[in-house]
């Protein structure tokens, strides 16, 4: 079907508007969350398998919630079950040494004992579910952008291999974020 | 917290080495606050560990399992013999909370404090984690093979065991555990199974059996307009308190709120809820019931025709005035209770352990059941209870007659090997029975989750898994659920140690005595699955039937409909004779929470206040103010309570919630060898009970012991919840109206 120049021009305009809106909405999203300021030089934590976050997040563009799927339904994001890793790696990159080790765990029916990197004191009640709802789903932000939300507390995990703590995660830092983004200010919200 | 020394302070406050002034303290606190504010825009602050805590992912979880979110599984509570259905919340493989299972015909979705405290039974630091063998007089840890080999040596290998020389002593058991225990006895040519429960209502059950033809009928509290309870603490410790509490709530609901009258010599939780609480001389409750029977007959409102003349003659012997004199009831009690009964139909008359626990217990309980017959309650509020068609699974209720019979067997040296599970007779037997002295002779095996007084005397100790880690099937012994099999499934993996499920242990024992028959079962789970597959409900649909049973927590067996066989009693009852030297009756009162002492090792229940006195973590002796005054005893004073069989010391708690002739000491404390939380607390009143028996049933007359009470002049503070006073200090928290005022206004 041939389109006249007027219609073409309209389509181009609509596309431009749509793209502009997308950019604006992305910027708006980026602006909407006023991040707390503060960095933390985390320790290098030795894990049973050096999990390369960069390969998964950047090279293969896998969404954080694909593996840490519990984050949207629970207070903890959770380490993905071994069955989820094997779901891909029974086919993908089977010859890599780390995948061989992973497969060995699976064949022996035991889970790796990982070390917790992002820890909070027992008297702090933090829920991933609530934060994702407030910062992602309630804002109608596409779930594909979840890594920007995750990065607020976890930093640019996509640039890491083994995850490393790089935000303070202390009370002043949390409170600052709550104040900037109209989060609850009651003590018992976190200390219950 | 930010580190203070990193802050740019000119005058650092002195904290550790010098005395801190108020001003300096405020400085520190102010700077601390500033530090927290700075931390938000500060650089590195290390507050918590990184890379120290392990985190283990699931291997291949069920879809509904989400870390951080609890999943509820159905199981069965074994904290008391009621067999309530429960739900356990499991998160990351750990059971964290227990509630009632709404599908359970026993618990109706509720759980009592004992059920809730099951978590502390499970996660108890005193749990036995490994089998033990006695070597040179000491119990030393060993492995399962060595322990089972030792048991085999004493029961199978050339020991020449004769008929009935092996015994099991257990608490109330039912379901497939009972089947296996009986099979073990059978394989050793014995039928000596003794079932001991200190808190029981055996005499009432025997009366129900003899007069109605059903030892565990249904008592429908919710269908009654009035409940007259003689010492039946159905809200606290009797039979199935959760079920009865559910019914009681309906009974008390408007618009037809029922009336509760409680007759007892020591106020129970049920008594505290009653509209009228009548305190009688201990052991005379049956005589009061006979006086009441005469009042009912004389009213002319009872259909005399169906009552045999012999019964009418018996009743006529109990003149109301005489009855008042014997029982100590006030002049109008019989009339008030009688009129209330005549006004309220149908009613329900119940008897509890304190009635059956006297030398005239059977007669008294019969008189009380007869009131139901006179009032036409049979078939209305007392109906036959359908029983399981599989009699092998039916519960064997515990009692004290079996404890006496077991002791007699030991004394006559008839037993060569004894297995203990779910019973602690060394703690619960009165010293006058002489059980402890005779226990040395036989070879003893204890299956237990905890060290206790009996377990520590055993030659072999086998550590049992907690009931939250174990498989099982159970049938209620009393109340509803007698035609329902409650399924017990593990709510989590074995917590630690090498303990085994009780079914697995008995199966292991059976593999030594009847290997050909039982070696096909690798574990108790496979035995259970096989047994359920054989049921009509199982069979071809086994998998879905099993899944449904696990999900519901129980399955029904379509019990046989029962019919009553009514039999009028021949009652000849007199007041118990009292030794003048010992002027008070000792009431060993069951305590909500600690129960018979089995829960003394659970801190939640130790710190849970007693239902009446509010005392925690201790024993006490309740004594009436008049009696205390006549004996020169003050509140909190340590008193000596001595019977023919020994003496105990505890502090006096002066209260009007006991009869003048009574000193009441709660059960549960006085342990010596039940772990860090139980030992060294309070006294055990069971120790000084006499060995007098109720003649008809052979039960221990646990409420008939008379004692002498003397003050010592020493004082101890009684630790209890709330102020040390029953006064409301003028705050009007509970509005009351005097009885006189009620009478004047004509209300009742």
Cβ pair B57:A73 closer than 8 A:
no
Closest CA to B589 of B616, B608, B611: B611
pLDDT (mean) for B327-337: 93
Instruction: Provide the pLDDT for residue A1.
Output: 43
For residues B567 and B211, the answer to whether their CB atoms sit within 8 Å is yes
**B94-100 and B85-91 beta bridge pairing:** antiparallel
Radius of gyration, CA atoms only, chain B: 29
Cβ pair B57:A79 closer than 8 A:
yes
**Number of Cβ pairs closer than 8 Å across A and B?**
116
Across the interface, of A80, A112, A117, the residue whose CB is closest to B50 is A117
**ipTM attached to this prediction:** 0.81
**B11 has a pLDDT exceeding 50:** no
User: For residue A72, what is the DSSP state?
Assistant: G
Cα–Cα distance, B147 to B464 (Å, whole number): 13
pLDDT bracket for residue B24 (50, 70, 90): low
Instruction: Provide the pLDDT for residue B158.
Output: 66
Cα–Cα distance, B108 to B480 (Å, whole number): 11
CA dihedral B383, B389, B390, B395 (to 10 degrees): 0
B566-595 pLDDT tens trace: 999 999 998 888 777 899 999 999 999 999
> How many whole angstroms from its chain centre is CA A117?
15
> How many whole angstroms from its chain centre is CA B501?
22
Interface mutation target, options B55, B64, B91, B93, chain A, most CBs of A under 10 Å: B55
User: What pTM, to 2 d.p., does this model score?
Assistant: 0.85
Instruction: Provide the pLDDT for residue A9.
Output: 57
For residues B348 and B382, the answer to whether their CB atoms sit within 8 Å is yes
Interface mutation target, options B34, B48, B92, chain A, most CBs of A under 10 Å: B48
Closest CA to A39 of B148, B39, B506: B39
Instruction: Provide the pLDDT for residue B46.
Output: 45
Instruction: Provide the pLDDT for residue A8.
Output: 56
| Residue B156 Cα distances to B160, B188, B459, angstroms | 8, 8, 16
Cα–Cα distance, B141 to B167 (Å, whole number): 25
pLDDT bracket for residue B444 (50, 70, 90): very high
B229: three-class secondary structure by DSSP: strand
Across the interface, of A36, A39, A45, the residue whose CB is closest to B50 is A45
Instruction: Provide the pLDDT for residue B7.
Output: 34
CA distance A122 to chain B (A): 10
CA distance B2 to chain A (A): 10
A14 close to B (CB below 8 A): no
Mean pLDDT, chain B, whole residue set: 89
Considering chain B, what percentage of its residues have pLDDT values greater than 90? 75
pLDDT bracket for residue B362 (50, 70, 90): very high
- Local confidence pLDDT in tens for the 192 residues of chain A: 444 555 555 555 555 555 555 555 544 554 478 999 999 998 899 999 999 999 999 999 999 999 999 999 999 998 999 999 999 999 999 999 999 999 999 999 999 999 999 989 889 999 999 999 999 999 999 999 999 999 999 999 999 999 999 999 999 999 999 999 999 999 999 998
Instruction: Provide the pLDDT for residue B6.
Output: 35
B378-400 pLDDT tens trace: 999 999 988 778 889 999 999 99
* Poorest-pLDDT segment among A48-57, B335-344, B457-466, B555-564: B555-564
Q: What share of chain B is helix, strand, coil (3-state, %, to 5)?
A: 30, 20, 50
CA distance B706 to chain A (A): 53
Residue A130 vs residue B3, higher pLDDT = A130
Instruction: Provide the pLDDT for residue A14.
Output: 57
CA dihedral B277, B280, B285, B291 (to 10 degrees): -90
**Which residues in B have their CB inside 8 Å of a CB on A?**
36-61, 66-69
Instruction: Provide the pLDDT for residue B703.
Output: 96
Closest CA to B490 of B482, B481, B480, B499: B499
Instruction: Provide the pLDDT for residue B390.
Output: 85
B136: three-class secondary structure by DSSP: coil
Cα–Cα distance, B239 to B430 (Å, whole number): 23
Chain A CA closest to residue B55: A114
**B289 has a pLDDT exceeding 50:** yes
Cβ pair B61:A81 closer than 8 A:
yes
Phi-psi domain of B742 (left: phi exceeds 0; alpha: psi -120 through 50; beta: other): alpha
Per DSSP, helices labelled H in B534-606 are 542-552, 603-606
B615-664 pLDDT tens trace: 999 999 999 999 999 999 999 999 999 999 999 999 999 999 999 999 99
**B27 has a pLDDT exceeding 70:** no
């Amino acid at each position: 079907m041939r389109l006249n120049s007027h219609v073409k021009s309209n389509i181009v305009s609509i596309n431009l508007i749509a793209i502009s809106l997308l950019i604006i909405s992305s910027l708006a999203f980026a602006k909407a969350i006023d991040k707390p300021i503060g960095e933390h030089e985390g320790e290098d934590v030795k894990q049973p398998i050096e999990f390369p976050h960069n390969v998964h997040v950047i090279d293969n563009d896998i969404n954080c919630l694909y593996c840490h799927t519990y984050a949207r339904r629970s207070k903890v994001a959770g380490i993905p079950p071994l069955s989820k890793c094997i779901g891909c790696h029974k086919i993908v990159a089977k010859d890599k040494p780390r995948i061989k080790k992973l497969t060995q765990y699976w064949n022996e029916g035991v889970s790796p004992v990982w070390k917790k990197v992002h820890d909070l004191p027992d008297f702090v009640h933090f829920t991933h579910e609530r934060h994702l709802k407030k910062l992602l789903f309630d804002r109608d932000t596409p779930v594909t952008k979840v890594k920007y939300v995750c990065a607020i507390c976890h930093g640019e995990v996509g640039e890491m291999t083994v995850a490393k703590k790089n935000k303070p995660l202390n009370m002043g830092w949390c409170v600052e974020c709550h104040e900037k983004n109209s989060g609850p200010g009651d003590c018992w919200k976190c200390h219950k | 917290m930010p580190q203070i020394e990193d802050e740019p302070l000119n005058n650092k406050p002195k904290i550790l080495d010098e005395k801190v002034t108020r001003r300096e303290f405020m400085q520190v606190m102010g700077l601390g606050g500033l530090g927290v504010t700075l931390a938000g825009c500060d650089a590195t602050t290390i507050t918590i560990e990184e890379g120290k805590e392990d985190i283990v992912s699931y291997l291949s979880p069920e879809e509904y399992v989400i870390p951080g979110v609890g999943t509820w599984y159905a199981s069965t509570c074994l904290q008391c013999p009621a067999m309530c259905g429960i739900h356990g919340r499991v998160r990351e493989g750990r059971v964290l909370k227990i509630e009632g299972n709404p599908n359970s015909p026993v618990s109706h979705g509720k759980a009592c404090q004992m059920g809730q405290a099951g978590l502390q039974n499970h996660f108890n630091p005193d749990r036995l984690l490994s089998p033990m063998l006695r070597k040179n007089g000491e119990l030393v840890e060993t492995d399962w093979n060595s322990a089972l080999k030792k048991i085999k040596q004493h029961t199978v290998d050339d020991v020449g065991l004769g008929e009935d020389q092996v015994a099991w002593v257990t608490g109330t058991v039912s379901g497939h555990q009972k089947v296996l225990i009986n099979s073990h006895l059978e394989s050793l040519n014995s039928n000596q199974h003794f079932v001991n429960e200190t808190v029981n209502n055996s005499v009432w059950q025997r009366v129900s059996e003899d007069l109605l033809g059903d030892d565990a009928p249904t008592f429908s509290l919710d269908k009654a307009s009035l409940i007259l309870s003689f010492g039946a603490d159905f809200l606290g410790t009797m039979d199935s308190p959760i079920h009865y509490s559910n019914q009681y709530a309906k009974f008390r609901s408007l618009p037809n709120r029922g009336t509760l009258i409680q007759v007892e010599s020591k106020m129970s939780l049920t008594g505290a809820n009653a509209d009228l609480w009548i305190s009688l001389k201990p052991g005379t409750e049956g005589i009061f019931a006979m006086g009441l029977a005469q009042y009912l007959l004389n009213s002319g409102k009872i259909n005399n025709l169906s009552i045999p003349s012999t019964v009418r003659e018996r009743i006529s012997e109990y003149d109301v005035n005489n009855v008042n004199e014997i029982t100590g009831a006030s002049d109008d009690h019989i009339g008030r209770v009688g009129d209330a009964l005549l006004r309220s139909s149908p009613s329900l008359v119940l008897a509890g352990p304190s009635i059956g626990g006297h030398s005239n217990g059977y007669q008294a309980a019969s008189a009380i059941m007869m009131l139901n017959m006179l009032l036409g309650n049979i078939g209305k509020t007392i109906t036959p209870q359908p029983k399981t068609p599989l009699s092998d699974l039916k519960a064997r209720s515990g009692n004290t007659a079996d404890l006496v019979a077991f002791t007699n067997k030991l004394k006559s040296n008839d037993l060569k090997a004894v297995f203990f599970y779910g019973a602690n007779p060394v703690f619960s037997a009165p010293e006058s029975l002489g059980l402890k002295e005779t226990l040395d002779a036989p070879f003893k095996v204890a299956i237990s989750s905890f060290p206790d007084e009996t377990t520590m005397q055993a030659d072999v100790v086998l550590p049992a898994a907690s009931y939250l880690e174990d498989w099982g099937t159970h049938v209620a012994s009393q109340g509803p659920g007698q035609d329902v099999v409650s399924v017990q499934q593990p709510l989590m993996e074995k917590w630690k140690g090498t303990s085994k499920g009780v079914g697995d242990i008995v199966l292991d024992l059976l593999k030594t005595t009847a290997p050909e028959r039982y070696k096909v079962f690798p574990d108790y789970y496979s035995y259970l699955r096989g047994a359920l597959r054989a049921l009509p409900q199982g069979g071809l649909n086994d998998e879905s039937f099993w899944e449904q049973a696990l999900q519901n927590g129980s399955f029904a067996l379509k019990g046989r409909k029962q019919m009553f066989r009514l039999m009028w009693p021949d009652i000849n009852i007199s007041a118990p004779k009292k030794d003048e030297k010992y002027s008070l009756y000792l009431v060993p009162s069951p305590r909500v929470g600690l129960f018979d002492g089995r829960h003394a090792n659970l801190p939640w229940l130790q710190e849970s206040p007693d239902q009446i006195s509010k005392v925690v973590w201790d024993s006490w002796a309740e004594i009436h103010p008049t009696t205390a005054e006549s004996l020169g005893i003050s509140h909190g004073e340590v008193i000596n309570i001595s019977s023919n069989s020994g003496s105990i010391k505890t502090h006096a708690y002066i209260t009007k919630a006991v009869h003048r002739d009574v000193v009441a000491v709660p059960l549960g404390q006085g342990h010596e060898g039940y772990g860090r939380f139980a030992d060294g607390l309070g006294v055990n009143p069971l120790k000084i009970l006499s060995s007098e028996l109720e003649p008809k049933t052979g039960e221990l007359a646990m409420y008939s012991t008379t004692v002498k009470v003397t003050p010592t002049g020493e004082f101890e503070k009684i630790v209890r919840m709330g102020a040390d006073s029953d006064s409301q200090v003028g705050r009007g928290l509970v509005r009351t109206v005097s009885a006189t005022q009620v009478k004047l206004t004509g209300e009742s």
